[in-house]
Each structure stands twice: as C-alpha cells, then as structure tokens.
Amino acid sequence: MNVIVDSYAWIEYFEGSKKGLLAKEIIENENNSIFCSALTVSEIVSKSERLGKDSSQYIEAMQSLSRILKIDEKTAIEAGKKHAAIRKKVKNFGLADAFIIVQGEKEKAKILSGDKHFKEMKNAIFIGD
C-alpha cells in the first residue's frame, strides 16, 4: 500500500504515543511504500526547533523511512486550486493539507493522519480521536 504521512502522524510517531504506535505499524511495514512531502519536513523541523529539539534526528528518520516528495510548480498550482476549493467549505483548512492531498493523489497513496480535516476522507487512514 502507498501511504503519504502528514505532520500529525510523524509527530505522534516520534513521540511514541498510542496514536504513534498505530502510525509506526504502517510506516515500518515493509510491504508499504511510504512518502512524505517536502512541506511536511519543513513543518516537523519548525515544530522541533520551536520546542528546542534537534531537528536533525527527525529529518534523518523521515529520509530513511520515506521517500521525500519534492514540490514543483505544477504541484504548487494544483495544491493552490485544491486549497481554494476546500476553503470554500472548510474555513480553517490548511495549505499544507492541500499539498498532502495533491501529492498523495499523484502517488496513489492513502493519507496517514490524525488531523480532523482528513477524518471523513475515504483515502485517509485516520489515527486521531
């Protein structure tokens, strides 16, 4: 199974939480192809730096456990359009989430997340509450 991991799932994975254990089963399953958006890498680096943690360990883990997906102009345009369309219905929908959707679609991947915005999506593996 192809899976794109969003920031929420990576954070839970790194914290080793109950939700993180669910993420770990999927991320570390050798039968799965794991992807991560370059934008997600930025989000994880930002969060860890704000918490005073060394982000290099998280970067190395994401690089070794997943294929980091680059963001090109076409992807940026598609994500902008997706974001605008969803924001008409969901006021606090994030631009990063639109990138996850677009890049996940390109890789035919399910989205691993606990973010409430993905809860009802049929292509999501939801680990949240």
Q: For residue range 92-117, list pLDDT tens digits in order.
A: 899 999 999 999 999 999 999 999 98
Residue 25 and residue 53: Cα distance in Å, rounded?
25
Angstrom distance (rounded) from CA 53 to CA 31: 31
Q: How confident is the model at residue 120 (pLDDT cuts 50, 70, 90)?
A: confident
Q: Are 36 and 4 in contact (CB under 8 A)?
A: yes
Cα 19 to Cα 69: distance, rounded to the nearest angstrom: 24
Percentage of the chain lying above the pLDDT 70 cut: 100
- Over residues 78-89, the pLDDT tens digits come to 999 999 999 999
Could you tell me the residue ranges of all domains in the chain? 2-126
Q: Is 3.40.50.1010 the CATH classification of the domain at 2-126?
A: yes
pLDDT in tens, 24-42: 999 999 999 999 999 999 9
pTM of the model: 0.93
Distance CA 49, CA 84 (A): 30
CA 18 – CA 110 distance, rounded (Å) = 20
Q: How far is 34 from 5, CA to CA, in rounded Å?
A: 7
- Between CA 113 and CA 128 the distance in angstroms is 7
**φ and ψ at 6, to 5 degrees?**
-95, 175
Residue 129 has pLDDT above 90, yes or no: no
